Amino acid sequence: MKTLEKITLIIYSNIILILSIILCLLIFGWLDIDVAGRVVEGMVSGGTITNIVLAVCVIFILLSIKCIFFDSTSREQIKERQGVLLENDNGKLMISKETIENLVNSVALNFESAEDVTTRVDLDKDNNVRVYVTLIVNANAVIKDLSANLQNKIKDKIKVATDLEVKEVNITVKKVAPKESIEK
């Protein structure tokens, strides 16, 4: 969120808090409605305070319209969420999440013990890569060895192919495939 939007949100939150407190005080009868009416009448009856209130209201209206109708995320931020943008002297290279997921799937399916694989890749603004792999393994799999080898191979493959460092490779073994499916 941009600084202007944060400030606007803080100001709106405080205004809503104050209005809610005033309304509660009026409902419970702890504040006289005539006093509140005189304060509002004083704010709109003319003079310098009226001009200040009008200016603040116009600014809030414009900020509200901006926040409601105009998205603050830039195209660069959207691209970062969809992939990793690498730059060098020759230009830019966008490596999509899907590309990294396909790399991981190809590595995982090269293991005989892996029957099926589902991959999810998370990227943050610092281009840190976190890989989440869900596996279905065959009954002959040694899960501990398979996961350690798979984590190393995935990190190596992504490093070689994309020059990105993988922070984490998290593996979930969803299930072990029954022997019948292995023999087919």
The 3-class SS string of the chain reads: CCHHHHHHHHHHHHHHHHHHHHHHHHHHCCCCHHHHHHHHHHHHCCCHHHHHHHHHHHHHHHHHHHHHHCCCCCHHHHHHHHEEEEEECCEEEEEEHHHHHHHHHHHHHCCCCEEEEEEEEEECCCCCEEEEEEEEECCCCCHHHHHHHHHHHHHHHHHHHHCCCEEEEEEEEEEECCHHHHHC
Establish if 82 belongs to a structural domain.
Answer: no
Summarised one tens digit per residue, pLDDT across range 95-114 is 888 999 999 999 999 988 88
Establish if 20 belongs to a structural domain.
Answer: yes
Establish if 91 belongs to a structural domain.
Answer: no
Domain of residue 133, CATH code:
3.30.70.1350
In the chain, the percentage of residues whose pLDDT exceeds 70 is 91
Domain check: are 7 and 50 in the same one? yes
Domain boundaries, position 150: 96-183
Establish if 90 belongs to a structural domain.
Answer: no
Number of domains in the chain: 2
Domain check: are 114 and 44 in the same one? no
Tell whether pTM > 0.75. no
pLDDT averaged over every residue in the chain? 84
Please tell me which residue, 60 or 97, carries the higher pLDDT value. 97
